Chain A
Amino acid sequence: MNRPLAKAALILIGMYIVLVYVLPLFTAPLPASLIYLYLALTLSAVLIYYTISGTTLEEFMGPIVRFLSGVDQVGPAKTARLLVLIVFPLLVGWQTYTRLAPSDLPPPENRTIHPAPPGEFVGLSNPFPKTPENIMMGKGLYAAYCSPCHGANYDGKGPAAPGFNPPPANFRDPGTIAQLQESYLFWRIKKGGVGLPVEGMPWKSAMPRWEVELPDEFIWKIIMGEYDGAGQSPRTWEEEE
């Protein structure tokens, strides 16, 4: 096998092994959508690199073209070509069938985790000053009402968390509350899962509608305690003094 072609094959196989087998040794397995994306990028890189010049293009594509065209082929090479020409379309067909065949598995869902809040919650700011007392009270309220699901460490690993799918939000993750304004959290806590718009799939959230049980003051203080406890800051447009 020609060297560029062998290298390309090795790179692609190596990438597949890393994504599917090596990475899960250290973290959660990747979803298929991400694996396909990274493999497509790797393949694109290989194709770009080997087609930059005429020499490498010939080295890379020449053997493939010669093999598939079948010119002057005899013996095992001829048989191999026939096999490829028969097996490859069958593989494509099988792949297409498995993708389209009815299945009892639900389709991958495209849930919007952070949908836009309703207009009445836009621009609200926390009416309570960020004092140690208020933060302490917020943390106490958080411990009482929120920590069973969101965890005492604000990491989404409360004792009740394993019972939920999707799991409760991890506030320590820089992609959650750190990206949002306090008014957003106020909306989510006050209105709960049922207050989500359709793209947020309200039926997928077990978040209670806390306005039924907690006054607004408690909610604002919980938000304050939550940010402080998770070591995050809310998104603002003014810097703190």
Chain B
Amino acid sequence: MNPARLIEYWPQLWEGLLVTLQISAATLILATPVALLIAILREARVPVVNALLIVAVNAVRLLPAVIVLFFVFYGGPQLGLSLSPMAAAIIGLSVMGAAYMSEDIRAGLSAVDRGQYQAARALGLSPARIFCRIIIPQAIPLIVPPYMTRAIIMVKGSSLASMVAVGELTAAASRASSITYDPFTFILFAGALYLIISGALVLFQAWAERHLRRRYRLTPGGR
């Protein structure tokens, strides 16, 4: 462990950290609404759409993330769209994240008591209203824990962007390691930074769960 080296390579590491934060934020912001849309469409069970989504979600879920990233980065130009490494990484990781998250969200939506749909429909409420006002608010407390776990996995997964030449935190730390032959210092430091980011998400999750319990008067596991 050599703190002097950290100071020497700080500009690159700082740059890498910023890129990691950017990728993480971008993938979460892109993946979440897409995942929600997929989950809602799956729940609505429109015959053909549902079948297509099952195939698409599983295709992505069953592939290694690196393969998906390579596919976007190297395959993109073949399909006529030339993407910067950063854009390719964000698209690939968002696609992965959306596929996984859609399953987390779907599980939460389908865990809401069927009687809630029946009561809401019997009152004449429209499907959109039922979803926004009745189902989603009840599903959110169920979705938050798996969603946040997924968000943490996605933040850590941003390190895969180094595979398509994005200079994010892992790439910066690994480059500094190979120049200085001091992997211990840099990898440990990078690990600590990941721990801080993930830790912040864990704290946010705890706060969100507490807030939701109060907001909806929920007792754990209760109605």
Mutual binders A and B = no
